[in-house]
Amino acid sequence: MRIAIEAQRLFREKKHGMDVVVLELIKNLQEIDKVNEYFILVKPDVDKCIDETANFKVVELGGGPYPTWEQIALPRAAKRLKCDILHCTSNTAPEMPGVPLVLTLHDMIYMEGSFLSLLKGKGTAYQRFGNVYRRHNVPIVVKKSARVITVSEYEKERIADFFKLDPTKLRAVYNGVGEHFKEVTDLQVVEQMRAKYRLPEHYFFFLGNTVQKKNTPGTLLAYSIFRERTGLDIPLVMLDFDHQDLTSILDEIGKPGLISNIFLTGYVNNAELPAIYSLADLFLYPSFRESFGIPILEAQACGTPVITSNTSSMPEVAGDGAFIIDPFKPEEIAQAMITIMQDPKLQLELKTKGLANAQRFSWRGMAEKVLGIYHEIGVKSKK
């Protein structure tokens, strides 16, 4: 088979969730599949993070902004390359693909709530536009897809119910956790990371942004409650978060003085994230809604106690290796922080169970299942 994989943003310098997923998919397919011919379709950018091999070719495509690249340049390239399958990996796809389509639909959060809420919601203008575009595009392309892949059983049920999809075309394929995510104990590396990112001796780690589902205001309020109730001066470390946005949120929750206790590291590349997790006393992931939650596994694999939510996919992913809370109750998040910090036995239990849980997930396993889906379509197309 000739398989095209859409990886539009893969070469950008600052990679985030879906970029990591497609990068791991490609790297693991390169390891396990020496037979099929692959074309990785990307927009030109600065980080050439994939090496070509005998059956994997990188095709850089111009074509303007995101929608025109996807709707025009991408399907033209797939047809020109005479591909048997086009796998679009980041929720959206060409509405006239021209070849059998596999769609990875990570979530359908943008389909929930009103259209007006998308336009007026929090987040950057780019994020709001992306949600509007997805809301238009996804209902069309899910119907045209030969297979739809999503990342958890929870999201599979949501997608099947919302779009009334034939269950035979919908697959749940778990994400993985990188093998480099492990506890960092090398003292030289520890000191390098502390110096580079100005990390305090003890800290809580929170990965949040301005998108409502991440529950950043509630998490910051819980952190404030923890400080007030315990008197402990443990800073909070946040990655890749804008200082002005943070100030605005702290003003919103009535805790402007908290700014002096929060460390903003800026962007941290994936290779250095294990150190950030490993050195943290706790990892906070009390989102309202996630389709999967890769950071839960990353923290568990690094031996860091995790606090996460009892909503959507998070209990499914965290297993018994996390402290589960109601994310809509900041007081409950704060009490979980207090309970863990006061109980060394519980810390060890969460670490041990978290390490075991993370071992259930691998990028190789994910790639093997996706390859099986490609073969399903290939067999069907020959009939």
Confidence of residue 257 (pLDDT cuts 50, 70, 90): very high
List, for residues 232-247, the tens digit of each pLDDT value. 999 999 998 999 999 9
pLDDT at 339 over 60: yes
Token pair for 275: 């150190």
Angle subtended at Cα 186 by Cα 184 and Cα 192, rounded to the nearest 5 degrees: 90
Do 152 and 231 lie in one domain? The reply is no
Residue 251 lies in a domain: yes
Do 203 and 343 lie in one domain? The reply is yes
Do 215 and 114 lie in one domain? The reply is no
Residue from 125, 138, 295 nearest 210 by CA: 125
Residue 149 lies in a domain: yes
Q: What is the mean pLDDT of residues 339-352?
A: 98
Q: What is the mean pLDDT of residues 104-110?
A: 93
In terms of average pLDDT, the best of 166-170, 265-269, 323-327 is 323-327
Residue 47 lies in a domain: yes
List, for residues 26-71, the tens digit of each pLDDT value. 999 999 999 999 999 999 999 999 999 999 999 999 978 889 999 9
Do 70 and 55 lie in one domain? The reply is yes
Do 147 and 254 lie in one domain? The reply is no
Residue with tokens 């006239």: 96
Domain, as residue range, for 275: 187-358
Do 115 and 237 lie in one domain? The reply is no
Q: What is the CATH number of the domain that holds 354?
A: 3.40.50.2000
pLDDT at position 114 is 56
Residue with tokens 């075991």: 356
Do 344 and 368 lie in one domain? The reply is no
Q: What is the mean pLDDT of residues 102-129?
A: 73
Residue 121, judged by CB atoms within 10 A of its CB (0-12, 13-18, 19+), counts as: middle
pLDDT at position 109 is 87
Do 161 and 35 lie in one domain? The reply is yes
Do 212 and 249 lie in one domain? The reply is yes
Residue 182 lies in a domain: no
Separation of alpha carbons 105 and 92, rounded Å: 7
List, for residues 247-256, the tens digit of each pLDDT value. 999 999 999 9
Q: Which amino acid is at 251?
A: D
Name residue 57's beta-bridge partners.
39
Do 10 and 117 lie in one domain? The reply is yes
Do 165 and 212 lie in one domain? The reply is no
Q: What is the mean pLDDT of residues 143-172?
A: 95
pTM of the model: 0.91
